[in-house]
Amino acid sequence: MEKIERGSLCVVGTGIQLMGQTTLESESAIRNASKLLYLVTEPVTEEWLKELNSSAEGLLSFYKEGKSRITTYKEMVDHILHYVRAGEQVCAAFYGHPGVFVYPSHEAIKHARAEGYSAVMLPGVSAEDCLFADMGIDPGSSGCQSFEATDFLVYSRKFDKHTTLILWQISCIGQLTHELEYSLSGLTVLSSKLSEVYGSEHDVFVYEAARFPVCPPVIHRTQIGLLPSAPVSGVSTLVIPPKPMPAPDLAMIKALNIPEAYIEKKAARSLVSSE
């Protein structure tokens, strides 16, 4: 009687810029899987995955017009687990970082582990990684906050105006289906909300990571009050530079024996390039 192998799951990311940002570790997992499932946005990347592994199967077909995203994601999870339960060494490859805005990857790993299967996630290059590099932002300098735009508004998220604020999926605020239609009303609400804290004339940046090696990233400078008329696409992210640093806690500086030169340097440092 033939022994059925124990299934496993490895979730990887292909990066933002075609296959050039796929790590060597992830590429090895893709090549060696007995079943490769993928969800990517570029035909070139899709063809490359098929060349790496002949078992490749896309997950894009689970999207249907009018179907809720959560239903689609649950069906993807069930499909991934079907092959794991069948004894396959499954690799699920997703666009960007597999753990950033990828609900099916987290759910598939959680359910696989709950059923006793080996399940791991390998890191990938995310849009945020590209953003830090393209805009010259160091999140370790004075902090950085990151929210999905609809979540940011619906739950009145608390944030510090003295650190960089990043808002994702600004083009489809309030949209819950696969189509993710452009929402001018959502941008208007967001502009009004941000104006209460920063003022309508505060500079912001609409950012899009480069998806092709020959194309530069999109970095459009505008003001909060002009956000509804800014050029925004389905992959646009909003970067709000911080207000000037507040006065430091002198008692804490003394308690920590921090030299004044450190405080002066930190206050003078710019977090976002104006280029």
Return the active site residues: 69, 73, 95
List C-alpha distances in Å: 135 to 144, 206, 208, 243. Answer: 13, 11, 11, 17
- The closest of 58, 64, 20 to 41, measured between CA atoms, is 58
- Other C-beta atoms closer than 10 Å to the C-beta of 223 total 16
Distance, in Å, from the CA atom of 123 to the CA atom of 217, rounded to the nearest integer, reads 22
List C-alpha distances in Å: 31 to 54, 91, 123. Answer: 9, 9, 17
- Report helix, strand or coil for 5: coil
User: Which pair of tokens denotes residue 183?
Assistant: 């929402």
Contact present, 86 and 6 (Cβ < 8 Å):
no
